[in-house]
């Protein structure tokens, strides 16, 4: 029996056990969540290392003969994503212990968080499109509730908007799946890819592609489907924002888009065009909007839209180098953006405000939070030698190499804009004199449980570039990007592995 389902079973199981015990026994909810998240991370690391030998891990649940039945697959792409996302989830779980310490319904928080993790893992593991959809909904539902966790007016409004738009997207996705099923008579992704290759182009495909672009594009917060994101990401509790920004939009949106359009549909010029257009729109509009923000979490949220645009752009260019750059950028953005959201939580916790204009001298009052914020922002802005720089430079080079210097110019200009809006808003808050706020006590550094995840994420943001070295971690990105650049091979590889 393969161990693959454990990645879903462990977080899902803990999601059920936490309410059972967590309500009664004080403090056990946190421990269980951290333990489950750690196991999930360790397992994903194990699988990723195993991939180095075999290339793809697959199992068929209940021993049905594939393509019938439930398939679970880890290939290079999902292996990379699993490691990154579970790392973030694990660190977020640790951070949450301090963040929701005073909440009476702490166990609810951890339950939902673990259900979300199981949904994410499920999407990444699923070898058939319907299970992908189901797990996507599991993760998204947990997300809707988590955004509303604070139960203030803001949170409820944000959650409502997120839920309405998310459900609309899900409906379109479901319709798309129905059409695709009626056309191919199969749900298994690999089998579907083969059938589509045999049956050739049809009118159904552009229709389904539109539905999927809208549905998953909304989950990924690509412009013009992005409107929910600034509400949800800024109103959610900080660890949840980190999960949404660092994990959710990437797995539920980008990963699924890439999987379906590269491995099932096959990348056609039309799909490429749409991805590039959505990418550029997101980059430009997200960044221009972020320029006007002084609310720290809204700033980061709009910046997520802009950075997701880079990833979509890299995927849309479609050359192996561009895909490599996009995936590396995805990795960087996951790490640095969750770091920044955790920072924003720590800052809000200590200063009691999210308004950057009201802050000053964070760096001397809270050195760890301050410096990690600096590292995260520098990395997102793509300043050398931090990890974010390499993703940016690879994407720009890939655009030029693919004969699209105009797009490269846009990407470079938006990176300047990114730099501008981050440091325009953050510099006066981080540096400058420490404000004397008379009656209140002095702003204090975050607690250890908050600092530890921030320090780890900051370390990865700094040292991430090391992963590009062939001896260290390049195989992770290489195998992930080769899965996408050799799109059609996916079907044969998976079917071979299932047999």
| Residue 156 interacts with other proteins (CB under 8 A): yes or no | no
CB of 359 to other proteins, least distance (A): 12
- Closest separation in Å from C-beta 382 to other proteins: 7
For tokens 């949106």, name the residue.
253
Is there binding between residue 459 and other proteins (CB under 8 A)? no
CA 46/CA 497 separation, integer angstroms: 18
Residue 285 or 311: which CB sits closer to other proteins? Answer: 285
| Options 31, 61, 168, 449; binder of other proteins; rule CB under 8 A | 168
| 27 counts as binding other proteins under rule CB under 8 A | no
* CA 109 to chain CA mean position, Å: 19
Nearer to other proteins, 7 or 214 (CB): 214
Neighbouring-strand partners of residue 188: 128
Fill in the per-residue mask, 176 to 205: x = in contact with other proteins (CB under 8 A), - = not in contact: -------------------------x---x
Q: What is the DSSP string of 332-354?
A: HHHHHHHHHHHHHHHHHHHHS--
Q: Does 115 bind other proteins (CB under 8 A)?
A: no
**CB of residue 227 to other proteins, shortest distance in Å:** 4
According to the binding rule CB under 8 A, does residue 409 interact with other proteins? Answer: yes
Residue 218 binds other proteins, judged by CB under 8 A: yes
DSSP assignment of 234-265 equals: HHS-HHHHHHIIIIIIIIIIIIHHHIIIIIII
* Rounded Cα–Cα distance for residues 5 and 239 (Å): 26
Question: Among residues 114 and 395, whose Cβ is nearest to other proteins?
Answer: 395
Q: Tell me if 328 contacts other proteins by CB under 8 A.
A: no
Distance of alpha carbon 379 from alpha carbon 300, whole angstroms: 13
Judged by CB under 8 A, which of 236, 399, 483, 495 binds other proteins? Answer: 399
As given in the structure block, the two tokens for residue 474 are: 């390049």
Q: Which of residues 66 and 388 has its CB atom nearest to other proteins in the complex?
A: 388
Q: HSE of 147 in the Cβ direction (CA atoms, 13 Å)? A: 28
Cis? peptide before 417, omega within 30° of 0: no
Integer Cα distance of 247 and 255 in angstroms: 10
Residue of 145, 179, 181, 431 that binds other proteins (CB under 8 A): 431
The yes or no reply on residue 406 touching other proteins (CB under 8 A) is: no
- The DSSP line for 269-285 is HHHHHHHHHHHHHHHHH
Name which of 228 and 490 has its Cβ closer to other proteins. Answer: 228
Residue 11 or 382: the one with the smaller Cβ distance to other proteins is: 382
In the complex, the smallest distance separating the C-beta of residue 275 from other proteins, rounded to whole angstroms, is 11
Rounded Cα–Cα distance for residues 79 and 75 (Å): 6
CB atoms within 10 A of CB 313: 31
Strands (E), 367-414: none
Q: Give the residue with the Cβ less far from other proteins, 143 or 382.
A: 382
Query: Binding residue for other proteins (CB under 8 A) from 9, 320, 424, 459?
Result: 424
Size of site (CB under 8 A) for other proteins: 70
Cα gap 50→57, rounded to integer Å: 8
> At 154, is the secondary structure helix, strand, or coil?
helix
Does 17 contact other proteins by CB under 8 A? no
Measure the CA angle with vertex 89, ends 106 and 394; round to 5°. Answer: 150
- Closest CB 247 distance from other proteins, rounded Å: 23
Given the rule CB under 8 A, which residues bind other proteins? 160-161, 164-165, 168-169, 172, 201, 205-207, 209-211, 213-214, 217-218, 224-225, 227-228, 230, 268-271, 273-274, 277, 285, 288-289, 291-292, 360-361, 364, 378, 381-385, 389, 392-393, 396-397, 399-401, 405, 408-409, 412-413, 415-417, 419-420, 423-424, 427-428, 431-434
């Amino acid at each position: 029996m393969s161990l693959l389902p454990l990645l879903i079973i462990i977080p899902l199981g803990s999601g059920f056990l936490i309410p059972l015990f967590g309500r009664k026994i004080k403090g056990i909810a946190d421990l269980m969540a951290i333990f489950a998240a750690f196991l999930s991370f360790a397992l994903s690391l194990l699988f990723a290392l195993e991939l180095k030998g075999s290339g793809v891990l697959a199992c068929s649940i209940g021993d049905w003969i594939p393509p019938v039945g439930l398939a679970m697959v880890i290939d290079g792409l999902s292996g990379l994503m699993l490691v990154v996302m579970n790392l973030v989830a694990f660190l977020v779980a640790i951070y949450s212990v301090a963040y929701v310490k005073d909440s009476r319904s702490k166990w609810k928080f951890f339950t939902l968080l673990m259900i979300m993790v199981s949904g994410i893992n499920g999407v990444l593991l699923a070898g058939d499109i319907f299970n992908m959809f189901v797990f996507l909904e599991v993760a998204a539902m947990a997300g809707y509730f988590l955004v509303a966790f604070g139960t203030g007016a803001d949170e409820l409004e944000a959650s409502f908007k997120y839920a309405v738009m998310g459900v609309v997207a899900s409906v379109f996705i479901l319709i798309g799946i129905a059409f695709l099923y009626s056309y191919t008579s199969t749900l298994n992704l690999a089998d579907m890819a083969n059938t589509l290759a045999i049956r050739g182009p049809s009118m159904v495909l552009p229709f389904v592609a539109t539905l999927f672009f809208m549905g998953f594009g909304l989950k990924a917060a690509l412009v013009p489907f992005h409107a929910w994101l600034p509400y949800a990401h800024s109103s959610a509790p900080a660890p949840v924002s980190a999960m949404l920004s660092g994990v959710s939009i990437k797995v539920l949106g980008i990963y699924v888009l890439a999987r379906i359009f590269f491995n099932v549909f096959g990348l056609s010029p039309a799909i490429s065009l749409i991805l590039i257009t959505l990418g550029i729109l997101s980059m430009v509009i997200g960044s221009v909007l972020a320029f006007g923000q002084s609310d720290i979490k809204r700033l980061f949220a709009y910046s997520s839209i802009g950075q997701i645009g880079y990833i979509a752009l890299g995927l849309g260019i479609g050359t192996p180098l561009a895909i490599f750059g996009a995936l590396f950028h995805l990795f960087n953005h996951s790490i640095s953006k969750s770091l920044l959201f955790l920072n924003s939580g720590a800052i809000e916790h200590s200063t009691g405000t999210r308004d950057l204009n009201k802050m000053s001298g964070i760096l001397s009052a809270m050195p760890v939070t301050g410096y990690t914020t600096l590292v995260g922002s520098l990395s997102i802005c793509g300043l050398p030698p931090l990890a974010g720089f390499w993703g940016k430079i690879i994407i720009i080079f890939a655009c030029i190499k693919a004969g699209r210097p105009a797009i490269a110019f846009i990407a470079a200009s938006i990176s300047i804009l990114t730099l501008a809006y981050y440091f325009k808003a953050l510099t006066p808050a981080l540096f400058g004199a420490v404000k004397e706020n008379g009656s209140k006590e002095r702003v204090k550094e975050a607690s250890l449980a908050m600092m530890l995840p921030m320090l780890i994420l900051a370390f990865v943001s700094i040292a991430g570039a090391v992963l590009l070295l062939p001896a260290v971690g390049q195989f992770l990105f290489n195998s992930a990007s080769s899965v996408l650049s050799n799109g059609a091979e996916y079907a044969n590889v998976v079917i071979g592995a299932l047999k």
